[in-house]
Chains A and B, each alone.
Chain A
Amino acid sequence: MPEGIINRKYKFNWDLLGDLELGRPNLGHNMRVEVYRLMQYSFRDVLEERYGADEADRVFHEAGFLAGKAIYDNLIGPQGDVNELIKKLQSVLKDMGIGILRVEEADLDNGRITVTVAEDLDCSGLPDTGVELCTFDEGFLAAILKSFSGKSFTVKEVDCWCTGDRTCRFTAVVNED
C-alpha cells in the first residue's frame, strides 16, 4: 500500500466544511478576506520553501480542481447549456464573495472560453510582482468546465492583478485527446 494513503487524515469532502450553523452560532459564515489570504500565502510560503515555486503552483492548481469539482457537485449541478452554467457560476461566485465573473467569449463548440474575474479573492489588491498568481483559480475553472462538459480543459491565467491588471483573465481551451 502506498505511503501517502496510509498517512491520510483528511481526505477532502464537502462535509469537512463543517456545520457552520452549529459551529459558529455567533460569528456565522463570514470572516475577513485577510484571513483567507493569510492562510493561503503562509501555506504557499512553506510549500515554495520546501518544494519550489513550480511545485507549489501545481499543488494549488490541483487543490483548485478539487474545490471546483466540489462546488460544481454541491452548489451548481447539471445545467442546460453553457450560458446557464455561466449564469449559475456568476451567481455562486458573487454570492460567496469569490469574485465578479464576466464572459468575453463562450464558444464551447470550438472549445474556447475566455472569462475575467474582477475583485478576485486570491489576488485583487496584491502587490505587482509581475507573475500570474491564480493557479488555484485555474484548477477551479478547469474542474467546473470538466464537470459540466465531461471534457478536460487547459485553463491559463493570462492577466492577473499581480501583473498589474485590474482583473484576472483566464482562457480555457479544450484538450484534444
Chain B
Amino acid sequence: MDERVASILEQLSKGRIPVVPPDVDYAVQLARLTSYLDAIRHFTLALSSGDLSQTMGQAGMGPVVGSLKALHSSLKHLTWQTKQIALGDFSQRVEFMGEFAEAFNTMVVTLGESRAELEQAYERLNEDMMELQLMSAELQQSEERFRLIAESVSDVIWTLDASLDSFTYVSPSIASLRGFTVDEAINEKFAQALTPKSYAYVQDILMQKLSFYSETGTLDSFSERIEIEQVCKDGRIIPVEVVISAIISTDGNIKEFVGISRDITERKREEEKLKYESTHDSMTGLYNRAYFDDELGRIANGPLFPVSFIVADLDGLKRVNDSIGHEAGDQLIRGASDVLKMAFRGSDVVARTGGDEFLIILNMTDEELAAKSIGRIRIYQEQYNKNSGNMPVSISLGTATAYSAGDIPSALKEADKRMYDDKVSRKQQRVG
C-alpha cells in the first residue's frame, strides 16, 4: 500500500485534516473524507460561535453530523423560545435538556413572577393615583365650596398660622368689618389687628386652649366665643365677637387657627341700652329703685364709709296731679330731678325711688359735708324756681350718716324721719 495513505490515516486518527495528494491510492475517497471532516469542522465552529444560520447542506448526512444537527436544532429552538419569553410568554419551558433545562425553567418562572409582581405593583400604583386624583378633585371641590361660603357670609373668616403671627386667609367681608381690603388685612400682623389689651387676652386664651389640647387631645374647648376689640382702618375701635378653632395636621400638631369674627357694635349698644333702662328711671334719667338697692349692697361691702344718705321728697305732687293734671305733675317731678342733678357730681348716686321720693347716696361723706349738700340743693332749688313760672319746686330734705354697714338701715330711717320733720316745719312756715 502507498505509504502516504498510512501517513494520511495516521494524521486523521490524531484529529488532523491532511492534504490528500491527487495521485495517492484511494485519493478520491480520502479527499471526500477530509472534505466531510472539514465541513463538520466549519459547522462545529459556527455552532460554537453561536452562528445558527450555517447548515451542513447536502454533505450533512450520517449519525455524526446528525448529532451535531440535533444540537443545532436544540439551539435554534432555544433561541425561538427565548424570543417568545422576551415577548412576554412566560409559559415556555425547556424540556429534556437536563440541568440546563432546570436552570433555564427556574429563570423563566422567576422572570414571570417578577413580571407579575411588577404588573401588580403598577396596577396598585395606578389605583392609588386614581384615588389621589379623585381625592384631589374632591378636595378642590370642597375648597371651592368653603371659599364660596367664606366669601358670601357677612362674618369675616380667617386663618392664622400656628405661631399666631400672620394671617393666611382673610375673607372679603373684612372690608365691611374694619374697612381694610383683603390684601391689607393679610399683610397685617395678628398683633396689629387687635387692640393691645385684646391681643394679650387672645394670646392668653389660646395658650390655655393649646395646653388643654396637649393634655387631653381634644379640641372641644376651642369653640367658645370670646369678645375682643379691634381697630378699624379709620381708627375706630369696635367690639368683635370671635370663635377660634384649630386645624390639626396628621402628625397631631396645630397646623393653623381658623377664626370667625363678627361685628357686635349693634348688639353691644342694645345691651347698653337694656342695662341703662333696667337701672334708670325713664322719666328723669336718674337711677331707679333697683339700682339704688344694688348700690346699697355694694357700699355695705365697700371701703367708702362714712356714707351719708339724703332723703328728698317733692312737696305737693298729689295736689298738682289732682288739680292741674298729670302732665303738670310730671313737669314738677322733672324739675325736682333737675335741681338734684345740678346739686351733685356724677359719681354720687341720685335715684328716684318712688313717685315723689328721691334718695341720694354720698360716699365718703360725713354729717358736715352732707349738710353742705343740703345747702347746695336749696340754692339750686331757688335758682330753678326763679325761672319756673307758676310751677315752683319745693323739696323736703333729711340726711343721716352711716359709719359702717350695720348703720345703714338706721341711717336711712333717720334721714327719712328728718325729711318728714323738714316737710312739717316748712308747711308750718308757709301757713304761718
Contact = CB atoms under 8 A, between A and B. Distances in A.
Interface of A: 83, 87, 94, 100, 102-106, 114, 116, 118, 128, 130, 159, 161, 163-167, 169
Contacts of B66: 159, 161, 163-166
A130 B80 contact: no
7 contacts: A100-B95, A102-B73, A102-B77, A114-B76, A116-B73, A116-B77, A166-B66
Contacts of A114: 76
Interface string B88-116: 01010001100000000000000000000
Contacts of A102: 73-74, 76-77
B73 A164 contact: no
A153 B424 CA distance: 149
Contacts of B73: 102, 104, 116, 118, 167, 169
A166 B77 contact: no
A78 to B, nearest CB: 18
B255 interface: no
Interface of B: 61-67, 69-70, 73-74, 76-77, 79-81, 84, 89, 91, 95-96
Nearest to B77: A102
Contacts, number: 56
B84 A118 contact: no
A164 B80 contact: no
Given A83-B89, A159-B69, A164 B74 contact: no
A167 B69 contact: yes
A130 B70 contact: no
A104 B61 contact: no
B80 A104 contact: yes
A103 B70 contact: no
B69 A166 contact: yes
Interface centre among B64, B69, B89 (most CB of A within 10 A): B69
Contact of B61 (A94, A118, A164): A164
A164 B63 contact: yes
A69 B88 CA distance: 30
Given A83-B89, A100-B96, A163 B61 contact: yes
B70 A118 contact: yes
Given A118-B73, A164-B64, A169-B69, 13 more contacts: A102-B73, A102-B74, A103-B77, A104-B76, A105-B76, A114-B76, A118-B70, A164-B61, A164-B63, A164-B66, A166-B63, A166-B67, A167-B73
Contacts of A167: 69-70, 73
A130 B62 CA distance: 8
B63 A128 contact: yes
